[in-house]
Amino acid sequence: MASSQYSKTAVSKLGRLANRGTYDFATIHVLINTCPVLHVSFNDPEHPFPVVLPMLGCTGTFEDRSADPKTTAQDLYIHGYVSGRVFKKSKEAADRGLPVTVAATFLDGLVLALAPFHNSCNYRSAVAYGYATLVTDEAEALYAMELITDNLLPERWAKSRNPPTKAELSSTSILRIRIETASAKIREGGPSDDRADLKNKDLVKGTWTGVVPYWGTWGEPVESKDNGCAEVEPYIEAWRTKETSKARNHSFEAIGE
């Protein structure tokens, strides 16, 4: 089935280079869920600057866990400490919740042209806009904790101590963001040089152009001082090598020259 889309609104409609953009559920949900750090932004009426926090989170649908994220709008679950500012603000927010913006960005490469003006970056970027409220239902909070833990490292929830204690549950807050709209923007390929520059033979001969690919690497695990497990468990090794290799391959495929 084809992937469904978020509706374009005044806030999510892409301006410049809209041809790089998409409103596609699948693209947006995958970017959010594979991005190891999300940037969450919201307003605090006490000052004029938006607050921006790096946080962990992912998309999910508590009401229907079997829902296909390619065709179903998802909620975004964000995870943190109960006294955190964003959680306080969400608790105070009236009606629909606190308006928040969540950005998931991957840099895939530095694109080098003959002139700095034509330099660029290969990237994938998703931005979701929605209303955040605190999750108060214990079953939904547990669902979201497991979802966020396993979204980063699959199987970790089941393979470490669970369920959480009462104290742990009460000091962790989960925020559910109902996504109002979202968009993604992707830049791929090599440099696009100026014709006049390409005719300048000395410049062309003396200036390397192309893409330096960039990706996130998960390196060799280092055990803690209290670790008592003989070796790094296979699911951890499988995860980190697979993720690194996917990320690396993507940065090269994005060049496509």
**Footprint on residues 61-80 left by a copy of itself (CB under 8 A):** none
- Other CB atoms within 10 A of residue 64 CB: 8
Interface residue with a copy of itself among 5, 8, 26, 107 (CB under 8 A) is 107
Interface residue with a copy of itself among 136, 170, 221, 242 (CB under 8 A) is 221
Distances (CA, A) of 232 to 117, 148, 155, 239, 249: 47, 21, 14, 12, 25
Contacts of a copy of itself in 84-103 (CB under 8 A): 84-85, 99-103
Q: Which is nearer to a copy of itself, 1 or 167 (by Cβ)?
A: 167
DSSP result, 18-71: GGGEE-BHHHHHHHHHH-SSEEEEE--TTSSSPEEEEEEEEEE-SS-TT--TTT
If phi > 0 it is left, if psi is from -120 to 50 it is alpha, else beta; for residue 34 that is alpha
The nearest distance, CB 175 to a copy of itself, in angstroms, is: 15
The nearest distance, CB 177 to a copy of itself, in angstroms, is: 11
Q: Which is nearer to a copy of itself, 23 or 157 (by Cβ)?
A: 157
Residues in Cβ contact with 94 at an 8 Å cutoff, skipping those fewer than 6 apart: none
Q: Which is nearer to a copy of itself, 67 or 236 (by Cβ)?
A: 236
18 binds a copy of itself (CB under 8 A): no
Q: Which is nearer to a copy of itself, 68 or 82 (by Cβ)?
A: 82
